[in-house]
Amino acid sequence: MSAKNKKGSHAAASIRTAQSLSSERDLRSVIEAVLRLAKKTHAEEAEVHVEEVDDSLTRFANNAIHQNVAERGVTVSVRTILDGRTARATTNRLDEDSLRGAIDASLTLAQSQPEDAHLLPVPGQQRYRAVSRFVKASAAVTPEHRARAVRRACDLAIRNGQVAAGIFATGQSQTAMGNSRGLFAAYRETHAEFSITMQESAATSWAKANSADVRAFDPQKLAARASEKAHRAVDVVELAPARYTVILEPAAVLDLVGFLFYDFAATALADKRSCLNNRMGKPLFGNNISISDDVYHPLQLGANFDGEGMPRGRVLLVDRGVPRNLVYSRRSAKATRKKPTGHGFALPNEYGEAPMNLVFAGGTSSLDEMIASTDRGLLVTRLWYIREVDPYEKIMTGMTRDGLFLVEKGKVTSGVRNFRFNQSLLEMLRNVELLGPAVRATGEEAFEMVVPAMRVRDFHFSEVTKF
């Protein structure tokens, strides 16, 4: 075994025994070791990704913890390039034989296919704008810390004659990548999330928060909010399906508009599966709608580089209702003579790229002001099981869930039996009457974004369910 191979083996061993996240130096050592191994093969170029996670999640239901889990793991992924062909192999075994096996597997895969005339060489060194998203307080949370917070939330439910269910999750993760042209990029973050559903009789409501900093939210306040809303939802009326003015809380906005993200990929337009085909540069939404992709926004999480190691750029996607720009991987940028925006997925893939850090421009109306200024409408806490019915008109279907309320003459007057909606997102974003301040929202159907609450006219509910 050569000295270099010994060094590579040692680097892999150091990462395997770590009890917290490995250092950036360790990750760099692993990447360099794999690149050295790849150099001894007939691969012309190589790219290495290392991912490490240390996550814990405490889950509760019926006012008690019923699941409580933790995971640690490291994966190494290798992409090789040979004769205009590329492929990827991934392993979580970090011994030298396994890493060499992954390199060989990627080469075998690569050689099995026809030459790709559009394949690009790996990019060289890049410069990255720094982001700081690792909070020691989040990394230090213990199972006992989570259990005590859950206990307090459950005690509140019991005091209020309710049943609580939810999660309290904390963790840390990091990713690093490097390639045979000297590119190296690394990113680490912490994450914390608390989500709770309170049930009273047949009524439920819900609250959730997510941040890099566990101190950014108070589980007790979230529990109290869900509890208060569940109580208000006990008395329900059944309304006829129709078009209603709706006040969508940020989580409901997020889970709907999240389905637009891939439409802004240049590859999606080239494939003619984006709703923006033939619509770029033309008024599509209301002039109060502006959308950016901005990984550097203070409420965002996520790495400052993409799957090829390109620095993520800030892109103005929609300017006052007009779709202006798309995001590009290196490949789609070359095909359309644009500059890469740093939104490519790890190669090889057929989807190209996507904006992953959407930020909507907000307004100044608080939720209370939206309610107070609404003569008759529905307040929507959360949406559920959203699916695309029509990809070009962007008609989405789904259900309201965990707190649908009737607003009459500026006040919340009762709960409402849940509706199914069939609603075009394009139409919805033309019908936005009021916008709240943009906040970091978290739901269950889309990844986290920065979005405002919205009041929307003529939102289409098509059917009603039994509760």
Partner 1 sequence: MWELATHSLDIARLRGASYADVRVMHLRQRDLTTKNGEVGTLAQSESIGLGIRVLANGAWGFASTDQLTSDGVAACAARAVAIAKASALAKRGEVTLAPEQSFVDSWVSPCRKDPFEIPLETQLALLLAADAEMHRVKGVTLTETDMQFRKIDSWFASSIGSRIHQRKFISGCGMAATSFQGQEIQKRSYPNSFGGQHSLQGYELIESLDLLKNAPMIAEEAAALHSAAQCPEKTGTLILGGSQLGLQIHESVGHPIELDRVLGEEANFAGTSFLTLDQLNQLRYGSDIVNVVADARLEHGPGLGSFAYDDEGVPAQCTDIIKDGQFRGYLSNRETAHLIGLQHSSGTMRTESWNRLPIIRMTNISLLPGSWSVDHLIADTDDGILMDTNRSWSIDDRRYQFQFSTEIGWEIKGGKKTRMLKNPSYSGITTEFWNSCDAICSREHWTLWGTPNCGKGQPMQTMGTGHGAAPARFRNIRIGSAFSNQ
List binders of partner 1 among 152-181 (CB under 8 A): 154, 163, 165-167, 169
Beta strands in 100-257 (DSSP E): 163-179, 184-200, 203-211, 236-237, 243-248
Nearer to partner 1, 70 or 140 (CB): 70
User: How far, in Å, CA of 168 to CA of 278, rounded?
Assistant: 44
Single out the segment in contact with partner 1 by CB under 8 A; choices: 4-12, 43-51, 104-112, 216-224: 104-112
89 binds partner 1 per the rule CB under 8 A: yes
User: Rounded to the nearest 10 degrees, how much is the dihedral formed by the CA atoms of 260, 262, 266, 270?
Assistant: -100
Which residue in the block uniquely carries the two structure tokens 């010994």? 6
Nearer to partner 1, 364 or 465 (CB): 465
Q: Which of residues 259-288 bind partner 1 (CB under 8 A)?
A: 271-273, 277
Q: Which of residues 336-365 bind partner 1 (CB under 8 A)?
A: 348-350
Which residue in the block uniquely carries the two structure tokens 């049943």? 163
Residue from 42, 69, 282, 411 binding partner 1 (CB under 8 A): 69
Residue from 182, 366, 391, 408 binding partner 1 (CB under 8 A): 391
Residues 6+ apart with CB under 8 A from 356: 261, 293, 295, 302, 343, 447
What SS3 state is found at 425? helix
422 binds partner 1 per the rule CB under 8 A: yes
> Rounded to the nearest whole angstrom, what is the least distance from the CB of residue 379 to partner 1 in the complex?
18
- Preceding omega of 250 cis (within 30 degrees of 0): no
Name the maximum alpha-carbon separation found in the chain: 80
Single out the segment in contact with partner 1 by CB under 8 A; choices: 150-158, 216-224, 247-255, 294-302: 150-158
Single out the segment in contact with partner 1 by CB under 8 A; choices: 40-48, 60-68, 324-332, 361-369: 60-68
Binding mask 367-386 for partner 1 (x = CB under 8 A): -----------------xxx
Nearer to partner 1, 201 or 373 (CB): 201
**Tokens representing residue 430 in the block:** 């033309």
Distance in Å from the first CA to the final CA of the chain = 68
230 binds partner 1 per the rule CB under 8 A: no
Nearer to partner 1, 138 or 304 (CB): 138
Residue 415: exposed, middle, or buried by beta-carbon count in 10 A (0-12, 13-18, 19+)?
buried
Q: Which of residues 306-335 bind partner 1 (CB under 8 A)?
A: none
91 binds partner 1 per the rule CB under 8 A: yes
CA 448 to chain centre: 4
The site that binds partner 1 (CB under 8 A) totals a number of residues, namely 98
